[in-house]
Amino acid sequence: MRFKPQGLPAATRRERMTFVLASGASLLAGLLVLPQAWELSQIISRVFPREHGVDAGASAMAGLIAVVAARAILLAAAKGLSLRFASQVKRRMRREMLERMTALGPVEVRRHAAGTWRTWLTDGIDGMEAYLAGYLPQAAASAAVPVAILGFAAWEDRLTALILAATVPFMVLLLVLVGQAAQRATDQRFVALERLSGHFLDVVRGLWTLKVFGRSRAQADILERVADDYRRTTMQVLRLAFLSSLVTELFTMVSIGLVAVSLGIRLLSGHMDFGTALVLLLLAPEYYLPIRTAGAQYHAARDGVAMLERHREVLETASPAVVPQSARVVVPDIQPSGAVIEFRHVTARYPGAEVPALQDVSFRIGPRELVAIVGPSGAGKSTILAVLLGFLRPVSGEVLVEGVPLDQLDLDAFRARVGLVAQDPAWFHAALRDNLTWGGACGEAEMREALQLSGLDSVVSRLPAGVDTALDGERVQLSGGERQRLALARMILRRPAVALLDEPTSSLDLATERALEERIVPWLRQRTSLAVVHRLSLALAADRVLVLDGGRLVEQGPPDDLLQARGAFHAMVRRDHGEEVSA
Ligand SMILES: Nc1ncnc2c1ncn2[C@@H]1O[C@H](COP(=O)(O)OP(=O)(O)OP(=O)(O)O)[C@@H](O)[C@H]1O
């Protein structure tokens, strides 16, 4: 069997303590089966031969009641403690996985489907209950009780001990064979569950695209196939579970039958007394019980082991994000007017990617400076933001904020001074106000200014309860452009020293975009602002432009200088304006 207490996922002292108590209670309850069988056999052997009379069994009866009561208490305690142990471990595992997810950052987390994370953090960890509360705390009892019974049998009657000892290896062998097949099947089932959850969430999210591209039927077919995989593997696991139950039940019956026949023959021939025969017969089923229980729990417990492996893998995944190099990190002294940010020969590669997304990129931005990053799709523009936020660690070169390398910087303190408008801004099923302030306090004048600057005011005026309208996804849904304005307003309310924008106006019509830029550019110029843009009007209004191509910085300078130089930027502007004219 694979599950041994050394695979114990207990990490804290409290968990170990609960586990030891649970195992101890279940071991004691298991061992008490010996006195229980003894007292019972005493009662029966004294009461039935009439010559002893009923009274002769009274003390044995009191003993039996005491033992049964003690066993019941111990079993209840073992159950309670085991459940407590399971909930302690599950709670810690969930916390560790969530903390690790945060430490790994968005670059690594996106390598798995969102649904897969959901499965791990909910059903996966919950599914460990059978392993943590059922399997592990009973492991000690499962090993010790048969040994104790075997020892007792050897003391009382060698032949019974021999039968008991000889049958177990066959039973264990059969269980191991079935168990190995079950291990494969349960692992496949766990992978099928991960795929099913991942796919399902992807389909829900991508329903629009799938419908328009006529792929919804095809995706439904894929989902059906994945669901069918899950059903098939589950049935396989269940078949194996039934098979192993059948094997153990049959084997137990035959073995107990053997013991009974050998005892009966000797009892009849007068070679054994009734009491000894009875106690051995009572103990025989208890001898096989832990092995049968272990076999029955194996399949449920295997899911727990699969989850334990995922948990370990996640905790051991090397983070692509910046990891602080020493315990003492520097809290940056960032003024409201911005920070000096410097990229020195930065080369960065995504995990698993062969080509670097950024190659030897160097630039410097200061306070009260608006810098635009332009370049073709896939040039590495968003990667600059990911590197600056510490989500992707450069393979060479360094990034400095106020002269401090990122890996020596208190990243949380730095990020607290950063405002971000992401490509696909996040929003939550909550009131618009909470989506803007994250539940924090905010004055009405401040709110009005942010709404006006971002252009969200025209949206808010149409909402039934204004800024207090709930974005519930049913009655009120924001369009892509409205979500971008929400993200802008959220950033403005944060009053960041460093503003990072990733295509902040890509979903807006040209007139709204121009009007917004006129309002927002002066605000951006009051701090350090770095804006990734596709449409070039914001780049033309910026102090400087960085032109990226294929991960390399091919040009940088004030837009007018770049236009005069007639290089890559000039070509882009010409193309852009041509498109506008023809549009
Ligand atoms: N998480 C990721 N894992 C692996 N490769 C990635 C990841 N994100 C981006 N890339 C790759 O890195 C390169 C640069 O991507 P990036 O998102 O920085 O481009 P971009 O210039 O912002 O593009 P766009 O204008 O289309 O948003 C691309 O080749 C892209 O395929």
Distance from the alpha carbon of residue 518 to the mean position of ligand 1, in angstroms: 29
> Whose C-alpha lies nearest to ligand 1, atom 2?
350
The proportion of the chain whose per-residue pLDDT surpasses 70, expressed as a percent, equals 90
Nearest-10 crossing angle of helices 158-205, 274-316? 30
> Whose C-alpha lies nearest to ligand 1, atom 6?
350
> Whose C-alpha lies nearest to ligand 1, atom 26?
377
| Candidate of 359, 381, 501, 572 to mutate for ligand 1, largest count of ligand atoms within 8 Å of Cβ | 381
| Candidate of 354, 358, 359, 382 to mutate for ligand 1, largest count of ligand atoms within 8 Å of Cβ | 382
Distance from the alpha carbon of residue 530 to the mean position of ligand 1, in angstroms: 17
Distance from the alpha carbon of residue 362 to the mean position of ligand 1, in angstroms: 18
- Give yes or no for a contact between 485 and 455, defined as CB atoms under 8 angstroms apart: yes
> Per-residue DSSP letters for 338-400?
B--EEEEEEEE--TT-SS-SEEEEEEEE-TTEEEEEE-STTSSHHHHHHHHTTSS--SEEEEE
Cα end-to-end span (Å), the chain: 70
List residues near ligand 1 (CB under 6 A): 107, 110, 350, 353, 357, 375, 377-383
Condensed to tens digits (0 to 9), the pLDDT of residues 476-524 reads: 677 778 888 889 999 999 899 999 999 877 777 777 777 778 888 999 9
> Whose C-alpha lies nearest to ligand 1, atom 24?
377
pLDDT of the residue at 53:
53
Distance from the alpha carbon of residue 568 to the mean position of ligand 1, in angstroms: 20
Distance from the alpha carbon of residue 374 to the mean position of ligand 1, in angstroms: 13
Block residue for tokens 């009005």:
448
The proportion of the chain whose per-residue pLDDT surpasses 90, expressed as a percent, equals 25
**Ligand 1 atom nearest residue 534's Cα:** 25
The helix (run of H) or strand (run of E) holding residue 560 is helix 559-565
3-state SS, residue 29: helix
**CATH annotation of 341-577:** 3.40.50.300
Distance from the alpha carbon of residue 500 to the mean position of ligand 1, in angstroms: 17
Nearest Cα neighbor of 558 from 569, 575, 545, 546 is 545
Domain ranges of the chain: 341-577
DSSP state of 6: G
Distance from the alpha carbon of residue 324 to the mean position of ligand 1, in angstroms: 25
* Tally of CA atoms within 13 A in the half-sphere of 233 that contains its CB: 22
> Whose C-alpha lies nearest to ligand 1, atom 5?
350
| Candidate of 107, 109, 383, 505 to mutate for ligand 1, largest count of ligand atoms within 8 Å of Cβ | 383
Burial group, residue 46, by CB count within 10 angstroms (0-12, 13-18, 19+): buried
Distance from the alpha carbon of residue 396 to the mean position of ligand 1, in angstroms: 18
Distance from the alpha carbon of residue 473 to the mean position of ligand 1, in angstroms: 30
DSSP state of 318: P
Give the mean pLDDT of the chain: 83
SS (H, E, C) 39-102: HHHHHHHHHCCHHHCHHHHHHHHHHHHHHHHHHHHHHHHHHHHHHHHHHHHHHHHHHHHHHHHH
Interface predicted TM-score (ipTM) over 0.85: yes
User: CA-CA distance, 428 to 435, in Å (whole number)?
Assistant: 6
- Give yes or no for a contact between 397 and 374, defined as CB atoms under 8 angstroms apart: no
3-state SS, residue 317: coil
> Whose C-alpha lies nearest to ligand 1, atom 1?
107
> Whose C-alpha lies nearest to ligand 1, atom 20?
378
Taking the CA atoms of 350, 353, 354 and 359 in sequence, report the sign of the dihedral they define.
negative
Condensed to tens digits (0 to 9), the pLDDT of residues 199-216 reads: 776 766 666 666 666 666
pTM, entire model? 0.71
Q: Which regions of the chain are under pLDDT 50?
A: 1-6, 579-583
